Amino acid sequence: MKMFILKKGRYILLLMLVQSFEFIQTKQCNIPEDNEDIDWDNFSEAWYEVLHTFDPVMDKDVFGAKLHNFTKTSTGMNLIVTELHKNFPSQTYAVHHTRKKAGIYRAAKNDEPAIKASQSLTPEGGRSEDAAKIDDALFSGDFLILSDEENYMINAFCSYADEWVVWVAFPSMNPTIQQLTLMWNKLMEKQINVQLYLSESVKHPENFMGFNR
């Protein structure tokens, strides 16, 4: 019970911090060209998706995601993704990213079936066409990864509606004030002005025991 109260308190603090950041909604989605390169050899073993835009994938279909086993390759980067779903077993799949230029990547088309199967799965067991369209947009163009290799990792791309889709991971499910501030500063620097929401796995950690191990 003590652990639950502690985690609940951290969630409330995190929620207050997220809501405290003012934002102006970006009217047009353009991936910036001038970005920092990332050395994937410096990444810790696991990162956790904590914040996201209110998009059809993350608003209800995916309740949390763990990114792990990062591997630097000659063409880009590979990793393993484990996604949580409320009424179904977790889904794990491999992801392969091809580096186009510093910070800009292209998702491998061979990964599309597995990603769509997981990210379009609804809590009721159906398939979300809106979520599938988000994945279509992801695989149809380039996407942006911003990270200082230690505190935050931002994944951002443009939907077909020309709106930002942003998923943010941290090396812990309970990011610090410093980590949140560094992440927001980077978004503002790149003129990616969006409102972010907490993942269900952060709001209700009691439902996902063992996920952050």
Residue by residue, DSSP assigns 21-69 as S-----SS----S------GGG--SEEEEEEE-S-TIIIII--EEEEEE
pLDDT tier, 12 (very low <50, low <70, confident <90, very high otherwise): very low
Domain ranges of the chain: 2-208
Say which CATH superfamily domain 2-208 falls into: Calycin beta-barrel core domain (2.40.128.20)
Q: State if pTM tops 0.85.
A: yes
Task: From 84, 91, 68, 120, select the one nearest 200 (Cα to Cα).
Answer: 84
Q: How confident is the model at residue 3 (pLDDT cuts 50, 70, 90)?
A: very low
Residue with tokens 């379009």: 120
Is residue 201 over pLDDT 50?
yes
Judge contact between 49 and 199, C-beta under 8 A: yes
CB atoms closer than 10 angstroms to residue 18: 18
Measured in degrees and rounded to the nearest 5, phi and psi for residue 98 equal -100, 125
User: pLDDT tens-digit profile of 41-56?
Assistant: 988 789 999 999 989 9
